[in-house]
């Protein structure tokens, strides 16, 4: 279905509701790597067609589909059909998390759904034949960040390179896996991390979003230096959406990173949210407006803006020295092209690339949500070349 504005072809599944449309697109784009079945997504979409933006209905329908598919997984596992069970578990992970993402603050139902998604992913990791997934803990300020480690495949190197992959504002390490598993197949190991403010880190460990993300980046590198199966001198950092702030900040202030990709630009996140608040959230948002306060661990939008004062990259990215790639969609409705250009111009690296995906080639929406493959293959091939 075409957008009423004509600027977002194929994205406006729920006319006038960018948030729901983008989330449905997230589910669709998960199908390529087994994270969804288009028929199941279509069933949920049809049930929600007349829900008129009711987030309670959104949660109810996605959780119902997740529970149904999880039941298929349990039945298959009981019958000894492990690969069938694994596939169903992974699809249920997506449905639980797509459904839960709009429910804030996180009540008992939301946390139960999210816990079911994490448990399902762990069962998936135990049942598949490949890729190998290690459930690991990254020591962090007296506690740990939850993470998955994917060993490099198709390489003879005893110590291959690695990429630390952080999430965004509303993404998780499970969603990262569904998008990022192909990186390991290119001979580059991958550490998928729920950083502060996302995934399990905030829901179950009380770690809110923070501006100094290089602390999490350094913790990931410290962890990788202790692994004998990673070349800790060849580690890159990648993050998407709000991760367009995390990754450049990490690579600018933590010189052990040897390559950096911002999968979608962020320049001044305080200004971004000031615009959204001034517009009473009548703008392109991937989450409800109050999500930002929950992620930051505060109660009001005024407190949120105060916390966001330090979420600026000017004066930081000028210090970056490693190779840098910025990808951005030509018609990204969430972050304007001016912000992307400002970030690219300010980065201090002599080796830097700005890839704009156009409407003609596809991938022109936020973080290539309209064509995930064209985005991931470009990014992963770049990492393969640089590391």
All structural domains of the chain: 1-129 (1.20.1440.110), 132-387 (3.40.50.1820)
pLDDT for 11:
59
Provide, for the chain, the percentages of residues in helix, strand and coil under a 3-state DSSP scheme, each rounded to the nearest 5: 50, 15, 40
The H-assigned helical ranges of 49-107 are 55-78, 82-100
Per the DSSP assignment, residues forming a β-bridge with 238 are: 165, 261
CA atoms within 13 A on the CB side of 97: 29
Quote the radius of gyration of the chain (alpha carbons, Å).
Answer: 20
pLDDT for 247:
98
User: Residue 105: pLDDT band by 50, 70, 90 thresholds?
Assistant: confident
Q: Are 56 and 82 in contact (CB under 8 A)?
A: no
Q: pLDDT (tens digit, 9 = 90+) per residue, 38-47?
A: 999 999 999 9
Sign, CA dihedral 147-363-26-262, equals positive
User: Which tokens sit at 315?
Assistant: 């004066």
Q: pLDDT (tens digit, 9 = 90+) per residue, 111-150?
A: 999 999 999 999 999 999 888 999 999 999 999 999 999 9
Is residue 367 pLDDT above 80, yes or no?
A: yes
Write down the mean pLDDT value for the chain: 95
Q: Which of 57-71, 306-320, 360-374 has the lowest mean pLDDT?
A: 360-374
Is residue 184 pLDDT above 60, yes or no?
A: yes
Q: pLDDT (tens digit, 9 = 90+) per residue, 4-36?
A: 333 444 458 999 999 999 999 999 999 999 999
pLDDT for 9:
46
Distance CA 133, CA 77 (A): 19
What pTM does this model have? Answer: 0.95
């Amino acid at each position: 279905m075409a957008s009423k504005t004509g600027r977002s072809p194929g994205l406006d599944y729920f006319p006038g509701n960018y948030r729901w449309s983008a989330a449905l697109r997230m589910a669709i784009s998960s199908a390529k790597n087994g994270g969804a079945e288009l028929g199941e997504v279509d069933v949920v979409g049809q049930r929600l067609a007349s829900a008129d933006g009711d987030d309670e209905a959104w949660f109810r329908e996605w959780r119902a589909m997740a529970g149904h598919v999880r039941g298929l997984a349990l039945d298959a596992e009981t019958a000894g059909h492990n690969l069938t069970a694994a596939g169903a578990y992974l699809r249920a992970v997506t449905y639980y998390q797509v459904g839960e993402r709009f429910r804030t603050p996180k009540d008992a139902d939301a946390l139960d759904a999210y816990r079911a998604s994490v448990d399902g992913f762990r069962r998936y990791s135990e049942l598949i034949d490949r890729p190998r997934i290690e459930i690991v803990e990254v020591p962090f300020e007296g506690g740990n960040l939850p993470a998955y480690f994917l060993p490099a495949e198709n390489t003879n190197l005893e110590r291959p390179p690695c990429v630390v992959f952080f999430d965004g504002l509303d993404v998780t390490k499970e969603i990262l896996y569904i998008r990022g598993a192909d990186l390991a197949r290119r001979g580059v190991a991958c550490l998928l991390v729920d950083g502060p403010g996302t995934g399990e880190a905030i829901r179950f460990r009380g770690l809110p979003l923070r501006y100094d993300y290089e602390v999490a980046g350094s913790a990931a590198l410290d962890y990788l230096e202790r692994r004998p199966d990673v070349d800790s001198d060849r580690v890159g950092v990648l993050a998407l959406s709000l991760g367009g702030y995390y990754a450049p900040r990490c690579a600018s202030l933590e010189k052990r990173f040897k390559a950096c990709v911002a999968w979608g630009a962020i320049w001044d996140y305080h200004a971004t949210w000031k615009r959204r608040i001034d517009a009473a959230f009548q703008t392109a948002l991937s989450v409800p407006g109050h999500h930002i306060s929950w992620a930051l661990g505060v109660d009001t939008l005024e407190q949120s803006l105060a916390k966001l004062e330090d979420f600026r990259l000017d004066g930081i990215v000028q210090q970056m020295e490693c190779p840098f790639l910025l990808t951005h969609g030509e018609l990204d409705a969430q972050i304007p092209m001016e912000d992307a250009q400002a970030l690219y111009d300010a980065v201090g690296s002599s080796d830097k690339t700005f890839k704009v995906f156009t409407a003609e080639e596809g991938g022109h929406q936020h973080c290539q949500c309209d064509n995930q493959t064209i985005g991931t293959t470009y990014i992963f091939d770049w990492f393969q070349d640089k590391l």
